[in-house]
Homo-oligomer: A and B are copies of this chain.
Amino acid sequence: MSKLRLKISMSLDGFVAGPNQSVENPLGIGGMRIHEWAFALEAWRAQHGLEGGEVNESAQVMKESVENLGATIMGRNMFGGHPGPWDPNKPWNGWWGEDPPYHHPVFVLTHHPRETLVLQGGNSFTFVTDGIESALEQARAAAGGRNVTIGGGASTIQQYLRAGLVDEMQLHVPAVLLGSGERVFDNLDGATRRFTCTELVASPTVAHYTYVRR
């Protein structure tokens, strides 16, 4: 059975993005620091078409997290661009250029309908306007038995957690103190109570916590 897996990089003080997110600064001020641990890894670099990189305790975790993955769900803010209806004259096609790093179907939660966007490398972006259950159903169908992941952001993650739809969570917690920004572990109404940690490993810069729902 295809599982819904959550992957979150979070600063040690609990933020998944810095303050003042914008088109120029999609992760907010300092938010990129939350993800720096990954950029040095061979596994991350290979996924983004780059050679070389480090192999350490994080490498195996990263490898497993992208294995058997068939589709991604994300919120409109993570896909980015602008708020409100899509502008046909200035189409926003995501942050990632012509060949995004997903290489499978992506489902974007939005209030505004739009035709599916097909880019290079097996990337497609389908815009879902009828809610998180529908997005999950479409993602599962597209994943063909493989797992589905939630890319973010915080609000999308919280919605799926509150609805009890998440099967596994992987939390990457680098030794970063961001000070302020957007929290993911807020307003969850006890939705995390049913999760049990199955693995905790750390490299010198980041700890990786894996949880499954009981």
Contacts and interface: CB of A to CB of B under 8 A. Distances in A.
The A interface is mostly helix, strand or loop, or mixed, namely loop
Contacts of A12: 171, 173, 185, 209
Interface-central residue, A203, A209, A211, by most chain B CB under 10 Å? A209
Contacts of A195: 177
Nearest to A206: B200
A188 interface: yes
Interface-central residue, A179, A197, A200, A205, by most chain B CB under 10 Å? A200
Q: How many copies does the complex hold?
A: 2
A202 interface: yes
A100 B183 CA distance: 37
A175 B173 CA distance: 11
A205 B204 CA distance: 17
A175 B197 contact: yes
A202 B193 contact: no
Interface string A168-191: 000101010101100101001011
Contact of A179 (B179, B188, B211): B188
Contacts of A207: 173, 200, 202, 207, 209
Interface of A: 12-14, 171, 173, 175, 177, 179-180, 183, 185, 188, 190-193, 195, 197, 199-207, 209, 211
Given A177-B185, A207-B207, 12 more contacts: A12-B173, A12-B185, A12-B209, A14-B183, A175-B197, A175-B209, A177-B192, A177-B211, A199-B204, A200-B205, A201-B202, A207-B209
